[in-house]
Chain A
Amino acid sequence: MSYLKPNNSFITNSFMNDIKQKFIDFFIDVANVMYYLKSVMKNIFHSSFEKSEFLKQCYQIGNKSVGLISITGIIIGLVLTIQSRPPLVEFGAVAMLPGMVAISIIREMGPVITALICAGKIGSSMGAELGSMRVTEQIDAMEVSNTNPINFLIVPRVIAATVMIPILTLYADVIGIFGSWLGVNIKDDVSFTLFMHQAFDSVEFIDLLPALIKSFFFGAVIGLVGCYKGFNAGRGTESVGVAANSAVVTASLLLIIVDLIAVQITDLL
């Protein structure tokens, strides 16, 4: 079976070079987003705030994501409960199920799943919308009308994402715990009040706070990456798709990295 061995060094080198290049591209993207953050911050503190654009973006982010987050939240709660139940039954610890699921959802599943959904839904839509505005010269038209496009388009979107993602995360937590109650009731008969009592007996404020803080960072990452990719899209129509796609990929990867850092910091506290 010698023909199955990866003895073609060209293929191996090319594959390794591709991976290396992708890593380099990703870190260049991260560096550019950080640099972009600088000009966004400058505009947040030095220009007049576009309140109506901010409220419009908040509405759009909430409105676009709430349905998907509701469905995903319920399913995550259900699945987590159904999968965790058998081992807990085996160890006679089934009473711990509501608390365990609640902590999992509040500390990790709620913030991460919400952020990943929003990276797909909001990040891509920001990338595509701003990319298409770039391609059709709407951003140039804005600049010629003496409007700073970073102040008008980017700042409200980034702040709206930073504010809305924690709110959506809290909503996902509630819906996920409700899903868990449904999951428990497939096999047992537990009242909603008893379930909630058992669930929140195990949850402490220290479980909620780091999760909320990290969801603010998740929101900022989604807003920044989506806007950066769209605002810096190329001039051809093809760049709109590229901007939307790379906004999702870069934001999702960055979210996981931010989550890893957040977990490490929380662990130290």
Chain B
Amino acid sequence: MKNVLIDIKDVTKSFGTQDILKGVTLQLFENENLVILGKSGTGKSVLIKCIVNLLQLDSGCIKVEDYEIANSSDEDLIEVRKKIGFLFQGAALYDSMTVRENLTFPLTRLDKKFSNEEITQKIEKVLEDVSLPEAIDKMPSELSGGMKKRIGLARTLIVNPKILLYDEPTTGLDPITSDEISQLINETKNKFKTSSIIITHDIKCVQTVADRIIMLKDGVVYKEGTLSEFENDDDSYIQSFFN
């Protein structure tokens, strides 16, 4: 039986009178790419933000390995966040810092102190991994959308997380770059043995990266299965995504 890394049970979350998540239950297993699929506004991004406690859930339980997020102390939350890398929708690179400084930033926040030489080596290696060694001294404003996503992923990978959360990694990119990012997600999983939750409504990306798919509709899990199970489902709502 596969090891469960993230266990989400009956999670609810509302904003004012609007109920976004109405009892979501799902699990992320070791070394898998789990795609969460759904229309805009179904609470996909809210769910992964609850996992890293950027948003507090109203009820239910989220466990990351042995840590329960809602009841975590600040120290526990730090431990949880060390295990998780988060790639934001717009990459969220720090505007005022160069790529080098963006990549140095998470390393200086860890308990372990690295020498300048070690930091440079790590930066050069991670930039090789995302195929952007030439971007090292550029500012985020000089990068294209796809390059920003790659650097965002490099910033996430530099601290060796076990779990990766991708928030719409291909949104706003042209089909070729989207495909490159999807391939990169697969390469990252195979090379670093990471487990990932990928939030998307890009079917091409789903077809490339998904080991398992969970579809959200109206704040609950609508269907769970493999890519072929989804593609062969007769349900008109599911087919509206795949056709």
Contact = CB atoms under 8 A, between A and B. Distances in A.
B81 A146 contact: yes
Contact of B86 (A133, A136, A144, A147): A144
Interface in B81-138: 81-82, 84, 86, 88-90, 92-95, 105-106, 109-110
B50 to A, nearest CB: 13
A238 interface: no
Interface in B187-225: none
B111 to A, nearest CB: 9
A133 B86 CA distance: 16
Interface string B48-88: 01001010000000000000000000000010011010101
Contacts of A143: 54
Question: Could you tell me the dominant secondary structure of chain B's interface residues?
Answer: loop
Nearest to A56: B96
Nearest to B53: A143
Contacts of B109: 145-147
A175 B52 CA distance: 52
Interface string A112-148: 0000000000000000000011001110111111110
B84 A146 contact: no
Interface string A175-206: 00000000000000000000000000000000
A133 B84 contact: no
The interface centre, meaning the residue of A140, A145, A147 with most chain B CB atoms within 10 A of its CB, is A145
B95 A138 contact: yes
Contacts of A142: 94
Given A140-B54, A141-B86, A146 B78 contact: yes
Most buried by B among A133, A136, A138, A144: A144
Task: Tell me which of B86, B88, B90, B92 has the highest count of chain A C-beta atoms within 10 A of its own C-beta.
Answer: B92
Nearest to B89: A137
B89 A144 contact: no
A137 B84 contact: no
Contact of B106 (A133, A137, A138, A145): A145
7 contacts: A133-B95, A141-B94, A144-B84, A144-B86, A145-B81, A145-B105, A145-B106
The 6 A-B residue pairs whose C-beta atoms are closest, nearest first, are: A141-B92, A137-B92, A145-B106, A137-B88, A144-B86, A138-B92
